[in-house]
Amino acid sequence: MTPKMFILHILAGFLIFNGFQCSPCNVRKYGDNNIVCVCNETYCDELNLLSDVASNQAALYETNQNGARFQSSILNFSKGIDRDITVVAINRSEMYQFILGFGGAFTDATGININSVTPKLQKKIISSYFSKTGLEYTMGRVPIAKDFTLKIPIIKAAMAESVKSLLLFGTPWSPPAWMKTNNAMNGKGFLREYQTNNITFWGMTVQNEPTDGCVVDFPFQSLCFPPDMQRDFLKMDLGPALKKAGFTPDKLKVMINDDNRVTLPKWAQVILSDTEAAQYVSGIAFHWYLEDYFPHKLLDITHALYPNLFYLPSETCTGSYPWDFPKVALGHWDRGERYAHDIIQDLLNWSIGYIDWNLVLDMQGGPNWVSNFVDAPIIVNLGTNEFYKQPMYYALAQFSKCLPRGSYRIGLNASSALSADIGSNFNMAAFQTPEDKIVVIAVNRLNVPLHFALNDPQKGYLKVTVNARSIQSYVW
């Protein structure tokens, strides 16, 4: 090795071991601990997985309240550990659900915002979500409506960037007004076209939030579609129509519910108790709203009743409640932490992935025709031709980057002492990837760090510190 090569080798090692990122976050602060990463036409941070990790080492990726954004470092396994250290053991023999993927929604607001920035910035936004140096999204939700032209170019751009096939599923908000008793798109009351544009759908939900339309004067597109009506619609209309058109369950995955967890397990029981309706159902979709009031345990209860169906979180966003202000909270750590907590709880309760809501919103949290403004992982500033990656973006990265399609959740056995100390503000989950890598993800919402050792019988012990208010992913 020449002296020059030796120096470069040492420098590379120094950078990797000190959490260096090839393209780090361009930080902008909005008060204490409120940090966004700024992207413009010439620069945008990238998310890179470490490639040269030795067999006796693990890669650590961390996002935290103090400003780390998917920061990488290396840890070393040891053969032994001090007896007084709490041990959390990996159990490969316990196999749970597979992971299908992570993604977001190709809403009209997303399309309008992407089309409002320059072509260079458009490419960076798409890359930030779908490329190998972005979140590596592999799924997308598409609202079903008459005009597809806004979404199709963006979906195709995402498909071109995506490393794996992009699994799309459609969701209707309302039938046409002329089909409803109130002659409106709100109140009680496409697949072929995309194929002609070389876009194939993996699945669809029967109806977005079918309880919305049962609310008098609900402000936007909706349909009151209680479970007994959805059951009959499935077995008498939708199911047979899809079958006749060649969209059988092996080719198109139909999901019921697509509403908040409070509807479970009742919604599933009403529909799936009818075998004629149940034959068309592949999965149960659900939303996260009012997540603190309706426990994730509802998913576990429903899965125990219907273990052969998959469970998919199909919509999430912050800033949605009337008391949330501002709607777009730039750099707000708590919103990213809420995402991480919800994702890991869903994964611990049989979910096969996670689908966010709007991919891109503007500084107001729109556009939205009824002023239903909310937050998003990427916010565009049309006045400065730049966009901001929120903490929510990096919370998603801790999962989407480390859990490729085909991963499985596996056993993780923590001591009762550790569980008693941390309560619900600390969660961990373990996974095995298709490449036989182990991934452990920890979400610490406590204001203090936690110290323990991960034990992999095939590797040894990994002494770890999960920093306060942090999300960490260990990969080996």
Q: Rg of the chain over CA atoms, in angstroms?
A: 23
Name beta bridge partners: 429: 441
Q: Given its phi and psi angles, is residue 290 left (phi above 0), alpha (psi -120 to 50 degrees) or beta?
A: left
| Rounded distance between C-alpha atoms, residue 395 and residue 378, angstroms | 12
d(CA 365, CA 375): 6
Q: For residue 41, what are the β-bridge partners?
A: none
* Rounded Cα–Cα distance for residues 173 and 142 (Å): 11
Burial class from Cβ neighbours inside 10 Å (0-12, 13-18, 19+) for residue 93 reads exposed
Active site residue: 62, 136, 315, 337, which one? 315
Q: How far apart are CA 100 and CA 49, in angstroms?
A: 20
The answer to whether the beta carbons of residues 394 and 67 sit under 8 Å apart is: no
Name the catalytic one among 136, 209, 337, 386. Answer: 209
291 is known as an active-site residue: no
Of 277, 272, 279, 342, the residue nearest 302 (C-alpha): 272
Q: Report cis status (omega within 30 of 0) of the bond before 219.
A: no
Q: Dihedral of CA 170/346/231/218: which sign?
A: negative
Closest to 222 measured CA to CA, from 214, 213, 231: 213
209 a catalytic residue? yes
Q: Tell which residue, 363, 394, 433, 434, has the closest CA to residue 129.
A: 394
With residues binned 3-state (H G I as helix, E B as strand, rest as coil), the percentages for the chain, rounded to 5, are 30, 30, 45
Residue ranges in 309-402 assigned as alpha helix (H): 333-347, 391-400
CB 320 within 8 A of CB 349: no
Nearest CA-CA partner of 386 in 154, 117, 133: 117
Q: Report d(CA 117, CA 395) in Å as an integer.
A: 25
Question: Which of 451, 432, 412, 398 minimizes the C-alpha distance to 136?
Answer: 398
Q: How far apart are CA 404 and CA 407, in angstroms?
A: 6
Find where tokens 């009012």 sit.
290
Question: In Å, how far are 186, 222, 317 from 218, measured between CA atoms?
Answer: 6, 8, 19
Q: Are 57 and 459 in contact (CB under 8 A)?
A: no
Other beta carbons less than 10 A from residue 231's beta carbon: 22
One-letter identity of residue 170: G
Which positions are catalytic? 209, 315
